[in-house]
Structure formats: structure tokens, C-alpha cells
Amino acid sequence: EAGVTQFPSHSVIEKGQTVTLRCDPISGHDNLYWYRRVMGKEIKFLLHFVKESKQDESGMPNNRFLAERTGGTYSTLKVQPAELEDSGVYFCASSRDYPTGELFFGEGSRLTVL
């Protein structure tokens, strides 16, 4: 069974540019999550999809971040325009249904904004 895959593994962009990160969850996992760790900080929850719907987006830092999950399969996280403080590692995770269980994390996409 393929794990959670994320693209790109590393992206370097200039401040003000746009970057789109992609996450392919494990097949059959309805739940998809985005997390991030910015420099020196803890891993933070960004949002949660159930299929194509946003269940919880309380962790999204501001409106420069847009997450989508069209068709309930893969998800994208777009940062537009990117700022220096957006640099960090963005993790995607997926899981099966409730009530509890494990999250399967991808290897992360490292974003460097110059």
C-alpha cells in the first residue's frame, strides 16, 4: 500500500511568488490534514478535509493560504503571495474514518521563501 506522498519535496521561491504544494493521501482515506512546522516552532495543525469538504480550517494562518481537495482525492495547498515567515515544512496526513486512530503522515514539503 502506497503511503502519503507529497510534492515537491523542496521548493525555493522569492517573496511574493506563488507556490502550490500537493498531497496524495492513502487510497480510500476520506480524511486529509495539513500541518506545518515553521522555523523553531512546533508542528501546527492547519486544516482538515473530509472527502472534498473542509471540516476544520481553524489553523489556516491567513487568506494567503488556500487549500483544495477537488473530487475528494488529492489536495493542494497554495500560498499566494508567499512571505518569508511561510518558510518551513508542510506535512500532509490522511486517515480512515472515526472515531479514532492513527494519522499517516507524508515526508513533508520543505518551503524556503527568500
Task: Indicate the helix (H) or strand (E) that contains 75.
Answer: strand 75-79
Interaction between residue 79 and other proteins (CB under 8 A): no
Interaction between residue 88 and other proteins (CB under 8 A): no
2-31: which residues touch other proteins (CB under 8 A)? 4, 31
From candidates 28, 42, 62, 71, binder to other proteins by CB under 8 A: 42
Q: Write the single-letter amino acid at 87.
A: S
Interaction between residue 74 and other proteins (CB under 8 A): no
Interaction between residue 107 and other proteins (CB under 8 A): yes
Cell of 111: 518551503
Taking the C-alpha atoms of residue 91 and residue 71, their distance in angstroms, rounded to an integer, is 21
From candidates 11, 33, 67, 88, binder to other proteins by CB under 8 A: 33
- 77 forms beta bridges with 21, 67
Closest separation in Å from C-beta 55 to other proteins: 6
**Residues 17/40, Cβ–Cβ less than 8 Å:** no
